[in-house]
Amino acid sequence: MDTLPPSSGASALVHAPLRGGVLHWLAGFGFSGLVGLAILVFWLFAALAGPALLPAHLVNLQASVVYAPMDGMHWLGTDYLGRDMLVRVVQGARYTVGVALVATLIASGTGTVLALLAAASGTVLDAVLSRLLDTLTSIPSKMFALVLVAGFGSSIGMLVFTAALIYVPGAFRIARSLAVNINALDYVTVARTRGEGTLYIMLREILPNILGPMLADLGLRFVYVVLLLASLSFLGLGIQPPEADWGSLVRENIGALPEGSASVIAPAMAIASLTIAVNLVIDNLPGRAARER
């Protein structure tokens, strides 16, 4: 018997649930959440593909008028060396977004793993990890960062390590508080009774039940890392010339502040828009209101 080819209507029916699911998920953000998500996606795209899409004549532009105003040629004016500020902001997004994202993933991932291990293993390991990380928490974060970067240099790897080390204790504290409560529930006790090991308890019983709150904490921690790295760059201990992140761009063009030039306002607004966008997305995560109720 000949088989009939699938009709276009059947194909549309297959893809319709997928499209409907995506649209339903996006609708759960609300208006402000969608605005934040759009800004966040824009900056992620700028960090990943923006430098490759910049016009070559602006990237290779030789020094022109210093602190030139915004016009049709230079949409965000020029910096203290006459370079196009739009190019500098897009190129700086690679370091501001990229370094902060890597450091945040390391900090949240390490803190969550240690918290799961502490909650599932027992009181001795829990106490040791808690006291060690409390020691790090007692040191002011910016002072700790200044000491590490000033002592070991301000390479990208060192900046990632410094930011991750500073924010591991906070991620550990939040994950541990959630994991300890889950660990005391009946179904975890039943899993232990039937002989399940520590790794199973961590990954199959506790982790799925704390994943939502930890993703929200990941977004907040990303904001903290962005602000920390921007402050280090503003002090001259972040990304070094000729490369620059947004904090470095503010420091380099601080002389244009009395004139209100876009060369100092644009990177500052970029930092503000990124942090506000992340907070809007976190505050409007789909299903958050239902979980809170």
In this prediction, residue 67 carries a pLDDT of 85
- Domain assignment of residue 209, yes or no: yes
| Local structure of residue 243 (DSSP, 8 states) | S
State the 10-residue block means of pLDDT for the chain, 293 residues long: 50 52 69 89 91 82 78 84 89 92 95 91 85 87 87 89 93 92 86 84 88 88 92 87 88 81 89 92 70 48
- Domain assignment of residue 246, yes or no: yes
- Domain assignment of residue 206, yes or no: yes
In this prediction, residue 215 carries a pLDDT of 87
Cα separation, 143 vs 133, in Å, equals 17
- Domain assignment of residue 186, yes or no: yes
- Stated pTM of the model: 0.84
In this prediction, residue 258 carries a pLDDT of 77
Place of tokens 């700086």: 92
In this prediction, residue 20 carries a pLDDT of 59
Coil vs helix vs strand at 84: strand
- Domain assignment of residue 168, yes or no: yes
- Domain assignment of residue 22, yes or no: no
In this prediction, residue 187 carries a pLDDT of 85
- Domain assignment of residue 9, yes or no: no
Q: Cα dihedral angle (277, 279, 280, 286), rounded to 10 degrees?
A: 120
Cα separation, 163 vs 145, in Å, equals 7
Measured from the Cβ of residue 220, the count of other Cβ atoms closer than 10 Å reads 19
In this prediction, residue 17 carries a pLDDT of 56
Whether 39 contacts 273, CB under 8 Å: yes
Q: Which domain holds residue 124?
A: 31-55+73-287
- Domain assignment of residue 18, yes or no: no
CATH of the domain at 245: 1.10.3720.10
Amino acid at 286: P
Number of domains the chain contains: 1
In this prediction, residue 2 carries a pLDDT of 52
